[in-house]
């Protein structure tokens, strides 16, 4: 079945991810989508579409793409879905908050979509979880030290991270906690937890490495289904080192799948 009409898209957040997504949609690189406007906290300059308010976006868009951060999802998620507008989310770590997750999954008639973002292997992990579940799922994320410092960290830990000369383990805990403690850095852990449908059993390790030119995520899962190991090494975005450069393109791919403009790999 071919898409009946153009999907009118709006973007929330015009940073590393949002700017690239906006440029590609505006340039017609997502067949069947048009860019209607951008919701931004700051005045836009040189953007491929005009700045609009959320209220305007709810009037003129069929789908909004959140590229703004966890807080934006908390503030606007339910309003968007309740207005009948679909929402594609990049800040999926916010869903570690069970209350928010329940609220957004119950809201509608707009549909909630989550991008796979910086990691892969989620399709297989999800298939395996349906089959048998896992005995063990871990994700080890290694990033440049500066991108892992968080406001809640004590001064001594910040100092330790910033002066690390080699790999330093910064955190270990369940995905449910990790995704909220590192809101801009552990959406990959959230993606794994969502794929296996278990926020508590997925163990997240966070490692700071001053030599980490690439951001790496090593995902390991084992159980009756077999043993999986995925190693992803992404180049950080030039605009925002906390974000991997591939993420806007994952969002564009998600958009294309939602619109259904092309068949192919799901
Ligand atoms: N799923 C993934 O794999 C993945 C990977 C990286 C980042 N992310 C998520 O994407 C978010 C954006 O990443 P980025 O690299 O583009 O960040 P960025 O800081 O470069 O850009 C975010 C922009 O959104 C704006 N903003 C914040 N709140 C807003 C609001 N309520 N309304 C409008 N604009 C708002 C900011 O001013 C900023 O310009 C991150 O915070 C993170 O949660 C997800």
CATH number at residue 189: 3.30.360.10
- Report if residue 170 sits inside a domain: yes
Per-residue model confidence (pLDDT) at position 4: 57
**Same domain (yes/no): 75, 27:** yes
- Report if residue 194 sits inside a domain: yes
Per-residue model confidence (pLDDT) at position 140: 98
Query: How would residue 133 be classed by pLDDT, with cut points 50, 70 and 90?
Result: confident
Whether 37 has a pLDDT exceeding 80, the answer reads yes
- Report if residue 21 sits inside a domain: yes
Query: How would residue 5 be classed by pLDDT, with cut points 50, 70 and 90?
Result: confident
- Report if residue 240 sits inside a domain: no
Decide: 16 in ligand 1 pocket, CB within 6 A.
yes
Per-residue model confidence (pLDDT) at position 264: 74
Per-residue model confidence (pLDDT) at position 265: 74
Q: What percent of the chain has pLDDT over 90?
A: 92
Per-residue model confidence (pLDDT) at position 262: 66
Per-residue model confidence (pLDDT) at position 143: 94
**Same domain (yes/no): 160, 69:** no
Give the span between the Cα atoms of 195 and 201, in whole angstroms. Answer: 12
Give the span between the Cα atoms of 13 and 66, in whole angstroms. Answer: 7
**Same domain (yes/no): 26, 104:** yes
Domain range enclosing 49: 7-117+246-259
- Report if residue 265 sits inside a domain: no
Decide: 70 in ligand 1 pocket, CB within 6 A.
yes
Both tokens of 1, joined, read: 């079945």
Per-residue model confidence (pLDDT) at position 139: 98
**Radius of gyration, alpha carbons of the chain:** 19
**Same domain (yes/no): 27, 104:** yes
What's the average model confidence in pLDDT over 73-86?
Answer: 98
Whether 74 has a pLDDT exceeding 60, the answer reads yes
Whether 263 has a pLDDT exceeding 90, the answer reads no
Per-residue model confidence (pLDDT) at position 67: 98
Residue 76 a catalytic site member: no
What's the average model confidence in pLDDT over 105-111?
Answer: 96
Query: How would residue 3 be classed by pLDDT, with cut points 50, 70 and 90?
Result: low
How many angstroms separate the Cα of 101 from the Cα of each of 9, 67, 111, 160? 23, 18, 13, 34
**Same domain (yes/no): 61, 146:** no
Query: How would residue 192 be classed by pLDDT, with cut points 50, 70 and 90?
Result: very high
Partners of residue 64 on adjacent β-strands: 10, 87
Whether 11 has a pLDDT exceeding 80, the answer reads yes
**Same domain (yes/no): 127, 111:** no
Per-residue model confidence (pLDDT) at position 261: 62
Centre of ligand 1 to C-alpha 217, Å, is 20
199 Cα distance to chain centroid: 15
- Report if residue 69 sits inside a domain: yes
Whether 260 has a pLDDT exceeding 80, the answer reads yes
**Same domain (yes/no): 130, 202:** yes
CATH number at residue 69: 3.40.50.720
**Same domain (yes/no): 40, 82:** yes
**Same domain (yes/no): 154, 228:** yes
**Which of 38, 67, 192 for a ligand 1 pocket mutation test, highest count of atoms within 8 Å of Cβ?**
67
What's the average model confidence in pLDDT over 195-204?
Answer: 96
- Report if residue 58 sits inside a domain: yes
Spell out a b/e string for 146-166, using b for 16 or more CB atoms within 10 Å of the CB, else e.
ebbebeebeeeeeeebeebee
Give the span between the Cα atoms of 199 and 5, in whole angstroms. Answer: 37
**Same domain (yes/no): 90, 134:** no
Whether 251 has a pLDDT exceeding 90, the answer reads yes
Task: Count how many domains the chain has.
Answer: 2
Place of tokens 């951008």: 38
Q: What is the mean pLDDT of the chain?
A: 95
**Same domain (yes/no): 253, 162:** no
**Same domain (yes/no): 67, 165:** no
**Which of 243, 245, 251 for a ligand 1 pocket mutation test, highest count of atoms within 8 Å of Cβ?**
243
Query: How would residue 266 be classed by pLDDT, with cut points 50, 70 and 90?
Result: confident
- Report if residue 2 sits inside a domain: no
């Amino acid at each position: 079945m071919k898409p009946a009409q153009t999907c009118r898209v709006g973007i929330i957040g015009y940073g590393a991810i949002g700017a690239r997504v906006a440029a590609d949609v505006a340039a017609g690189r997502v067949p069947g989508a048009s860019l209607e406007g951008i919701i931004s906290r700051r005045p836009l300059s040189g953007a491929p579409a005009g700045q609009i308010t959320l209220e305007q976006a709810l009037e003129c868009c069929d789908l909004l793409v959140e590229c703004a951060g966890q807080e934006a999802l908390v503030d606007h998620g339910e309003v968007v879905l309740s207005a009948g507008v679909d929402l594609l989310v990049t800040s999926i770590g916010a869903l570690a908050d069970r209350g928010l997750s329940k609220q957004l999954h119950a809201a509608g008639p707009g549909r909630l979509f989550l991008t796979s973002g910086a990691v892969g292997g989620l399709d297989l992990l999800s298939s395996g979880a349906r089959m048998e579940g896992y005995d063990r799922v871990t994700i080890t994320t290694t990033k440049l030290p500066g991108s892992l410092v968080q406001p809640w960290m004590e001064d001594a830990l910040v100092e330790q991270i910033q002066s690390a000369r080699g790999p330093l383990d910064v955190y270990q805990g369940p995905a449910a906690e990790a995704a909220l403690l590192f809101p801009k850095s552990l959406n990959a852990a959230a993606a794994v937890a969502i794929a296996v449908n278990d926020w508590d059993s997925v163990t997240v390790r966070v490692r700071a490495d001053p030599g980490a030119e690439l951001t790496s995520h090593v995902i390991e899962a084992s159980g009756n289904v077999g043993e999986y190991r995925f190693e992803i090494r992404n180049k950080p975005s030039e605009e925002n080192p906390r974000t991997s450069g591939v993420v806007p393109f994952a969002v564009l791919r998600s958009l294309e799948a939602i619109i259904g403009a092309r068949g192919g790999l799901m």
